Amino acid sequence: MGKRKTKKFASMKRMISLKDQRIKEKDRTKVLAKKKKDPSEIKEKEVPKYPSCLFFQYNTQLGPPYHILVDTNFINFSIKAKLDIVQSMMDCLYAKCIPCITDCVMAEIEKLGMKYRVALRIAKDPRFERLPCTHKGTYADDCLVQRVTQHKCYILATVDRDLKRRIRKIPGVPIMYISNHRFNIERMPDDYGAPRF
């Protein structure tokens, strides 16, 4: 039997010395020491820009008729709960509601196949407003988050926990969800007459 090679403990990589001929002249000079920061210097800090429609957490662009962005699973859960989407939205908000569906959400429902043909028929309802997408890819969650961030005039209807968590980080966007066989709304300003549960 031959000898076993053992790894050297605490071995370091070899480094080329600064005097080596392979190193170019400009690289041979040692890096200058960092400047010490002046304590009297004004500190610059980048603050995220908030849209003018927000007055603290209060969104002034929201108002009847409400435009509600609908997610795929929201349609599926409303079918399971035997709820008419448009009528239940009006019952929840006490105002006219226009459900909006993006191309990405439509593509997601179409990809699900024959099992979700009822959801597809509901999504193609003429009462639903169709919103075209200009971005690449068809991932619906990213599309909805991007649209809600750009335009603060939407309420997002979803049952997806991860999407809800992402939307809660964006100020001024109410979330509609399904619980106890009815639609409820979260983070809606009191003045708009939405019921509190």
Predicted local confidence at residue 33, as pLDDT: 46
Predicted local confidence at residue 136, as pLDDT: 83
- Residue identified by tokens 């509190």 is 196
| Torsion region of 94: left, alpha or beta (phi above 0 gives left; psi -120 to 50 gives alpha) | left
| Residue pair 99/130 in contact by the 8 Å Cβ criterion | no
* Separation of alpha carbons 130 and 127, rounded Å: 9
- Residue identified by tokens 């300003």 is 189
Across the chain, which has 197 residues, the per-10-residue mean pLDDT values are 66 73 71 62 73 70 89 94 94 92 93 92 94 86 92 92 92 91 83 53
Predicted local confidence at residue 32, as pLDDT: 45
Tally of CA atoms within 13 A in the half-sphere of 129 that contains its CB: 11
Predicted local confidence at residue 195, as pLDDT: 54
Cβ of 79: how many Cβ atoms within 10 Å? 14
Q: Against a cut of 0.75, is the pTM above it?
A: no
Predicted local confidence at residue 167, as pLDDT: 93
Residues 6+ apart with CB under 8 A from 146: 135
Please give the domain boundaries of the chain with CATH numbers for all domains.
62-187 (3.40.50.1010)
Predicted local confidence at residue 188, as pLDDT: 77
Structure-block tokens of residue 196: 């509190």
Determine phi and psi for 86, rounding to 5 degrees.
Answer: -65, -45
| Residue pair 187/87 in contact by the 8 Å Cβ criterion | no
